[in-house]
Copies of this chain bind each other. A is one copy, B any other.
Amino acid sequence: MIIDALYNKVQERGPICLGLDTRLDYLPQYLLDSELTVEEKLYQFNKRIIDETLDLVACYKLQIACYEALGLEGLRAYSRTLSYIRGAGALVIADIKRGDISSTAEMYAKGHFEGDFEADFITVNPYMGLDAISPYFKYLKTGKKGIFVLIKTSNESSKDFQELVAEGLPVYQHAAAKVKDWGSEFIGESGFSLVGGVVGLTYPQEFKAIEKVAPSTFFLIPGYGAQGGTGEAVAELFKEKTCGVINSSREIITAHKGKTEGEDFAKYARERVLHMKEDIGQWLK
């Protein structure tokens, strides 16, 4: 199962998920000044970073919003980047956070598990309940696709709804319980399910409580770096077991800023990933 492949990568290389949340203003000047199309500029930027980090990271994540913001051209770059990552044998999470009723969720499943936008994993929003999630199960049954359901997101306003207390438990704990139920049919050799969860590194206590409710859940954990999460916080979560991937984007893909505007920009991304591995590793030891 693909969750085992992801788990194995994390065991082997550490838990880094490199977020290609690419924006035009992140690009080095030489690329911005080139006569390439916007599509090509974005793609070349991503490709060089991927080439420099392919041996280091557990997986990649693309925030589709960054590409949607640039319209069709952006989405062409998105499609090519996904294809390049998968063609290189690496795993990729499409951070799309879709959520809609069943017949519509079927369309999203088709859109992001097949064709131009095919990814290995997608993120989904649970607000509409089971029938907004179950259409993905058909793909999970093949063992080749997985989902990460939003449980407790890394932003401050996640409290607005996710921390409302119902029947003695915050809403995010209800989400965790659902994720456990939904995922119980899809558990791989690693002991983890193809139905994973998104929990922010910014909420370590909540993380522990969620893990207790849903112990077979592999986590996609945003919030490292720019959002405030530290290597020490990661080590705390991973003390007992390898339980997920830690996403970092801006810090890595803008690491060249102030250092170079030239073709060597991607080596700073590599350096930054190595630094992140060290930061997490020193605490894990």
> Are A162 and B129 CB-contacts (below 8 A) given A76-B72, A79-B71, A97-B98?
yes
Residue A262 is within 8 A (CB to CB) of chain B in the complex: no
State A126–B151 Cα separation when bound (angstroms).
Answer: 13
The smallest beta-carbon distance between A183 and chain B, in angstroms, is 15
Binary CB contact string for chain A from 99 to 113 against chain B (1 if under 8 A, 0 otherwise): 111101101101110
Is the Cβ of B111 less than 8 Å from the Cβ of A129?
no
A72 CB contact (under 8 Å) in B79, B97, B156, B171: B79
**A108 neighbours in B (Cβ, 8 Å):** 65, 68-69
Interface pair B159/A107, CB less than 8 Å apart: no
Candidates B110, B129, B130, B171; contact of A69 at CB < 8 Å? B110
Decide yes or no whether A230 CB sits under 8 A from chain B: no
Is A132 in contact with B155, judged by CB distance below 8 angstroms? yes
Chain B positions within 8 Å of A63 at CB level: 100, 104, 107
Residues in B neighbouring A68, C-beta threshold 8 A:
107-108, 111-112, 117
* A175 to B130 alpha-carbon distance, docked (Å): 19
Bound-state Cα–Cα, A139 to B79, Å? 28
What residue of chain B has the Cβ atom nearest to residue A73's Cβ? B116
A174: min CB distance to chain B, Å: 6
Compute how far the CA of A70 lies from the CA of B75 in the bound complex, rounded to whole angstroms.
Answer: 13
Residues of chain B within 8 A (CB-CB) of A153 are: 101, 127-128
Q: Assembly of this chain: how many copies?
A: 2
Q: Chain A: interface residue count, which band?
A: 35 or more
A166–B101 alpha-carbon span in the complex (Å): 24
Q: Can you list, as one digit per residue, whether each of A157-172 has a CB less than 8 Å from chain B (1) or not (0)?
A: 1111110111100010
Contact A131 B115 (CB under 8 A): no
Complex Cα–Cα for A101 and B162 (A): 14
14 extra interchain contacts, Cβ-Cβ under 8 A, other than A63-B100, A68-B117?
Answer: A23-B107, A65-B107, A68-B108, A69-B110, A70-B115, A71-B117, A101-B153, A101-B154, A127-B162, A128-B162, A129-B161, A132-B155, A132-B157, A165-B167
Q: List 28 A-B contacts (CB under 8 A).
A: A21-B104, A65-B98, A65-B105, A65-B107, A66-B107, A69-B108, A71-B111, A71-B116, A72-B75, A74-B111, A75-B75, A97-B99, A97-B100, A97-B125, A99-B125, A99-B127, A126-B160, A128-B150, A128-B160, A129-B159, A129-B160, A131-B155, A131-B156, A160-B178, A161-B174, A164-B166, A164-B171, A165-B166
